[in-house]
A and B are shown apart, each in its own frame.
Chain A
Amino acid sequence: MRILTPDADEYLVTDEAPYLESADEVSLFEAAWRAKLPVILQGPTGCGKSRFVSAMAKRLGRPLITVACHEDLSASDLLGRHLIVGDETVWCDGPLTTGVRHGAIVYLDEVVEARNDTLVVIHPLTDHRRVLPLERLGCQLGAPEDFMLVVSYNPGYQSVRKEMKPSTRQRFATIEFDYPSKEIESEIIQSESGVSEDVAAALVEIGGRVRELKQRGLDEGVSTRLLVYAGKLIVLGVDAQAACEMAFVKNLTDDRQLQGAVRSLVSDHL
């Protein structure tokens, strides 16, 4: 039976965008990769987890295979499935199998969105065995040295139904992420959006203030990503207040009173 495996080249990271290290996450990640440890990237939405893993894949020269997890994600979606091509039955590798074959970094984004029974398939990959059983092919793949499994997890979701099972969570080392420091966040905003240093500094200040409202009405603080959005709009000539309104004031919350507070925090600085 023929086995279809996508080329590794398809997953090589070519993005030139730089990643600015906030603490020691780069060295920690490298150490985990060398030690062949799976890693959880834990932190709020939009703080740079996905950007980080992309940068690390490039730095380590590994293909990066990203899976956006969701509730209907099945084990077959991860491992692969049989397909009928003409009169032929072929096996098409899923992303996890592809990653194992190529020694890639497989990144399961928002892993809690997947059902726990689906995630069980990663267990043999995440302990000393480092193998991927493929029941339907009647074999198991041993993961090469370069393979690494990375998942992202945002504890801010708060859903009691979407907590990682301890049996899954305890297979991973954890790198904690938070929003970058003021200086780094300002640099990120400048480099990503092209705004001036002053505007970037103001956006950073606004972000810091708005994040104080997390769990005091806001489920999440404003992400660096949204601040970059605001910066991009400002660079294109949109009025600063209107840019912030569009980028994050209205989508952080539907609560009009809280929107009013965020709006005032914006006008304090711009």
Chain B
Amino acid sequence: MGIRTRKKASIIRRLKSRIEGVGVSVRGLDKSLRKQALREVLAGVVYENLMVLEQQILSVLDQDGIAESVISDVSDFIVASEPQLRQRFIGVLGDVLERSPGVFGEILPNIYQAIHRDESVDFDRWLSDVGDGSNEEFVTGLDLGLAPLLDGGPVSFQLSGIQRTLTAYSTAHARLPLTITAVSGDRAWRAGDQIFLPKSIGEFKDSRDEQIYWGLAALLSGFLEFGSEDFIHQVEDGTMPSVHESTPNHHALFYRSFKHPIVASSLFPILELARVTTQVFLVYPGVAKASAPILKEILSRLLDETVPHEQYRTILWCCFIEIGDVETVYDRPAQWEGALATVTEAGSPVEATAAAVTALYPHFEQLFVESQPSETRSREIKHRTDGLDSSVRQSWGRERRLRDAMAAEGISVALTDVRRISSGVMNTGDSYREVNDFLDRNPVHRGGIVDSTDGDGSEGEEFLDKGGDVALVPGRGALYPEWDLRLGGYKQDWVRVTEYMVTREDAEFVDRVLDERGDVIGQVRRKFEAIRDDGMLRVRRVKDGDLIDIDAAIQARLDFKSTGHVNEAIYSRLRRRDQGLAVGFLVDLSSSTNEPAGFGARSILEVEKEALIVVCEAIDALGQQSAVWGFSGSGREEVSFYIAKRFHEDWNRSAKEKIGGLSWKMENRDGGAIRHAVSKFQENDAQTKLLVVLSDGRPLDCGSKEYRDQYGRADTRRALQEVKSAGISPYCITVDPSGASYLPELYGNVGYTVIESVTSLPDLMPRIIRQLTR
């Protein structure tokens, strides 16, 4: 997954671990931090005019010490409040988590129970959704406005059925690796390389529901294909405020060139959608034929409803009229004509959209000014926030107003982005470090974090336990060098890799896999046993064999006729082609592997383990050897190398259960683990050695300052060169959709496979291994 997503996933995962270990994280925490957290909440509460809670928090802040009971009061408030009030407060909490995850981490565990008790709130989703929509890129989408879309019942069309197909389709359109994510609600949008689509559509209750997905995928990937991201806004000297951006965001720069950037930023995506839609329909007649009538029907229906942002919808509608044979049902103002015509011309570039925004801006600016909040309301907000720290008050108010205003214009932007834009803080790593520091104040045992979901209710305690699922291997492990890109050389003895044997045997996991995938495993076994002869070589000119070697026999006869000498080596026989194949699987156990895999409840790691069971079965059927290792850790002193199966160990129930016993840990410092894996191959004399790295993202060790981005990739690349020098072929199988952007640098153009859908891994992995070793 991308770094940003990965960071967020890591934060959420680790926060959840703390939350589920209530009692661990609250005791002994820094009071000043807790006070700061409450100040953050207070700012939001004041802004939302939640007076009851405001008084409670203020009274506590006035006290010298902050009792834990205060937080209980907050929880009680959530439970006791009217649903509407409660929702608003939960919204405040979400905003605070976005603003200051580290600070909020102090109180989050304590409100967890309270939120959890509210059946209307899906806590996991709430936590996961915090920050969604945040992006540094131009975001656009289509508000379908289809009321029955969400969970439309058994006749609605589920995205899950075609998600993988759509991902491949969109990727081919955009010529970039895209991912498709299912979301609740009826909006479809794109941000960066992600397309978000409703998880089900039940609008028509027939095949048209599926067609909506295809149309949306073509449209949203069209933004990349037709250059929305290529927008360059020419900044004239002296017209732009200073922007704290290392890489200019030209969309943002363009918006800021207007008196009311909000107006421009709301117009631009709508017009750009119209432009891209036109291009898609013109270039892909098949899409236009299949999808345009459906989209037009949806949009025409919207016009009959009283909906917000009607003016914007109208623009879009008018653009659609330009495209095809739709009857004019709306009289558009004459001044729109020219602007819309340029946007919807064939081959129209993104600059045409910018020109159209400029042309339409005056009309919509007037509407915007008329809809601004009154001064009375502003004064009220100011009065109520006087008691707060001025910087908190000002920033909160500014950010919230900005976001609300944007929301009113139909633009969904996360508070983090608003904050970043308004404060000039561009490095989202700051908040990550903040939460990381908070989390790291609790000690972590040397074997890495034990999966807190594996326990039986005592998860929180297990979190800090020394871990019962692995055992340190005395004397095994070593110091390895690490390649430093900046130095252009190795840092000797830089990384300590410590070996652990997986001792936990997960019988339940194996039972489930055998139960659910028994048929597949049986098929794979039979298939691989059938091709086992492929590994045999016919040796010619031997004295004993199952066939006569015709060439040798003729030569022998010739020799006999000319010399009288009898050569008996006239047979051929089969022998194993070489001294065998050894495949070592090195599994990234970083925390992000505990993220859900697709739509199922299983994590990425769970599916990877299923795949390992299947593929090891296949390798065993070939009569060859496999080993399974995991790696994780945090920092250069603690790269943990977990051994689930060794080469010489039999493929039996115990080996399978130990693979089941692998659990997610922390970071992935790939270089050290790969170097250690090479040492494990040295114990094996197979002629063909294959190291398969099973990954879900880039090399990244947040336990150190430098092991990320170029540094991490450079070290990993160097480690892989060492792998090749040792006569081992490295190969990477990744579920990271952006893998194609960095894996060629590490593994070469043909040394990796990106798995679009992790759930297909158990089916694909044996095929990949078969292809690699045929």
A→B interface (CB under 8 Å): 72, 74, 76, 81-84, 89, 136, 155-162, 209-210, 212-213, 215-217, 219, 255, 257-258, 260-262, 264-265, 267-270
Give Cα A162–Cα B688 distance, bound, in whole angstroms.
Answer: 11
Q: Known: A212-B175, A265-B169. Contact between A217 and B773, CB under 8 A?
A: no
A84 to B774 Cα, complex, angstroms: 37
Q: Is the CB of B172 within 8 A of A155?
A: no
- Write out the residue numbers on chain A whose beta carbons fall within 8 Å of the beta carbon of B756: 216-217
Q: Cβ of A161 and Cβ of B774 under 8 Å apart?
A: yes
How far apart sit A197 and B164, CA to CA, in the bound complex (Å)? 33
Q: Is the CB of A268 within 8 A of B175?
A: no
Q: Is the CB of B214 within 8 A of A264?
A: yes
Pick from A215, A265, A268 the residue with the most CB of B within 10 Å. Answer: A268
Would B168 and A258 count as touching, CB distance under 8 A?
A: yes
A261 touches B688 (CB 8 A): no
Closest 3 CB pairs of A and B: A261-B168, A160-B729, A260-B165
Which residues on A sit within 8 Å (CB–CB) of B286? 267-270
Q: Which residue of A lies closest to B771 (CB)?
A: A158
Check A261 against B774 for contact (C-beta < 8 Å): no
User: By the criterion CB–CB under 8 Å, are A264 and B169 in contact?
Assistant: yes
Q: Please state if A82 and B754 are interface contacts (CB–CB under 8 Å).
A: no
Shortest B695–chain A CB gap in Å is 15
Residue in B165, B172, B177, B688 whose beta carbon sits within 8 Å of that of A160 in the complex: B688
A97 to B173 CA separation, bound complex (whole angstroms)? 50
Q: Which A residue's beta carbon lies closest to that of B552?
A: A76
Chain A residues closer than 8 Å to B551, beta-carbon distance: 74, 76, 81
With A162-B774, A261-B166, A261-B168 already in contact, the answer to whether A215 and B750 are too (CB < 8 A) is yes
Kindly state the separation between the CA atoms of A159 and B729 in the bound complex, as whole angstroms.
10
User: Within 8 Å of chain A (Cβ to Cβ): is B85?
Assistant: no
Structural contact, A155 and B749, CB atoms closer than 8 A: yes
> Once bound together, how far apart are the Cα atoms of A264 and B165, in whole Å?
9
Which residues of A lie under 8 Å from residue B753 when comparing CB positions? 215
A215–B740 contact, CB under 8 A? yes
Taking the closest CB of chain A, its distance from the CB of B598, in whole angstroms, is: 12
Residue from A159, A160, A215 whose CB has the most chain B CB atoms within 10 Å: A160
Do A216 and B165 touch (CB < 8 A)?
Answer: no
Query: Which residue in chain B gives the minimum CB-CB distance to A209?
Result: B172
- Known pairs A158-B772, A257-B168; A215 contacts B554 (CB<8 A): no
List residues of chain B with CB within 8 A of the CB of A72: 538
Asked whether, in the complex, the Cβ of B557 is within 8 Å of the Cβ of A84, the reply is yes
B252 CB, nearest partner CB in chain A, Å? 30
The answer to whether the Cβ of B39 comes within 8 Å of any Cβ in the partner chain is no
Closest residue of chain B to A241 (Cβ to Cβ) is B286
> From B581, which residue of chain A is reached at the shortest CB distance?
A161
Decide if B171 touches A84 in the complex (CB within 8 Å): no
In whole Å, how far is B220's beta carbon from the nearest beta carbon of chain A?
A: 14
A82 & B162 in contact (Cβ 8 Å cutoff) = no
Q: Say which residue of A159, A213, A217, A270 sits within 8 Å of B774 (CB atoms).
A: A159
B290 interfacial by beta-carbon distance below 8 Å? yes
The CA-CA distance from A94 to B510 in the complex, in Å, is 56
Per-residue interface assignment for chain B, residues 743 to 774, with 1 indicating a CB less than 8 Å from any chain A CB and 0 otherwise: 00000011111101100100000000001111
Give the distance in Å from the alpha carbon of A155 to the alpha carbon of B589 in the complex: 31
Contact B772 A89 (CB under 8 A): no
Nearest Cβ on chain B to A2's Cβ, whole angstroms: 13
Inter-chain contacts of A158 with B (CB < 8 A) = 731, 750-751, 771-772
User: Would you list which residues of chain B between 89 and 125 have a CB under 8 Å from chain A?
Assistant: none
Bound form: Cα–Cα A238–B751 in Å: 39
Question: With an 8 A cutoff between CB atoms, is B555 at the interface?
Answer: yes
**B residues less than 8 Å from A84 (CB atoms):** 554, 557-558
Question: CB-nearest residue of chain B relative to A156?
Answer: B750
Q: Is B287 an interface residue (CB 8 A)?
A: yes
Residues of B with C-beta under 8 A to A160: 688, 690, 729, 731, 772-773
Residue contact B774 to A265, C-beta cutoff 8 Å: no
Alpha-carbon distance between A203 and B690 when the two chains are bound, in angstroms: 38
Q: Which residues of B contact A268 (CB under 8 A)?
A: 218, 284-287
Q: Is the CB of A213 within 8 A of B172?
A: yes
A-B contact pairs, 30 of them (CB 8 A): A72-B538, A82-B554, A84-B554, A89-B561, A136-B555, A155-B750, A156-B750, A158-B772, A160-B688, A160-B690, A160-B729, A161-B774, A209-B172, A209-B173, A215-B752, A216-B168, A216-B171, A216-B754, A257-B168, A257-B757, A258-B164, A258-B168, A260-B162, A261-B167, A261-B169, A264-B169, A265-B169, A265-B172, A268-B285, A270-B286
**A81-B554, A267-B286, A269-B286 given as contacts; is B171 within 8 A of A213 (CB)?**
yes
Is the beta-carbon distance between A74 and B540 smaller than 8 angstroms? Answer: yes
Q: Please encode chain B, from 680 to 696, with 1 for each CB lying within 8 Å of some chain A CB and 0 for all others.
A: 00000000101000000
Closest to A72 in B: B538
Q: How far is B164's CA from A219's CA once the two chains are assembled, in angstroms?
A: 17
Complex formed: what's the CA distance from A258 to B284 in Å?
Answer: 20
CA distance in complex: A89, B773 (Å):
42
